[in-house]
Amino acid sequence: MKMRRRIAGILLICAAAVLLWTGAIQAEKQKTRVPDFTLMSNQGRPISLSDYAGRVVVLNFWTSWCPDCRAEMPELQRLQDELAETEEAVLLLLNQIDGSLETQESGKRYLEENALTLINLYDYGTVGWGIFGVPAYPATVVIDPEG
| Over residues 101-123, mean pLDDT | 97
Please tell me whether residues 70 and 137 are part of one structural domain: yes
End-to-end CA distance of the chain: 54
Is 90 exceeded by the pLDDT of residue 40?
Answer: yes
Q: How many domains does the chain have?
A: 2
Omega within 30 of 0 (cis) for the link into 138:
yes
Instruction: Please list the residues that pair with 40 across neighbouring strands.
Output: 46
Are 1 and 47 contained in the same domain? no
> What does pLDDT average to over the chain?
87
Same-domain status, 14 and 86: no
Q: Are residues 72 and 115 in the same domain?
A: yes
Q: How far apart are CA 95 and CA 92, in angstroms?
A: 10
Torsion angle of C-alpha atoms 34, 40, 45, 49, degrees rounded to 10: -10
| 134 & 67 share domain | yes
One domain, residues 112 and 86: yes
- How confident is the model over 64-99, as pLDDT tens digits? 999 999 999 999 999 999 999 988 999 999 999 999
- CB distance 120 to 39 below 8 Å: no
Task: Give residue 11's pLDDT.
Answer: 47
Burial of 119 per CB tally in 10 Å (0-12, 13-18, 19+): middle
Q: What is the per-residue DSSP string for 110-147?
A: HHHHTT---EEEEESSTTTTTTT---SSSEEEEE-TT-
Residue 92 structural domain = 38-143
24 vs 140: which has the higher pLDDT: 140
Q: What pTM does this model have?
A: 0.78
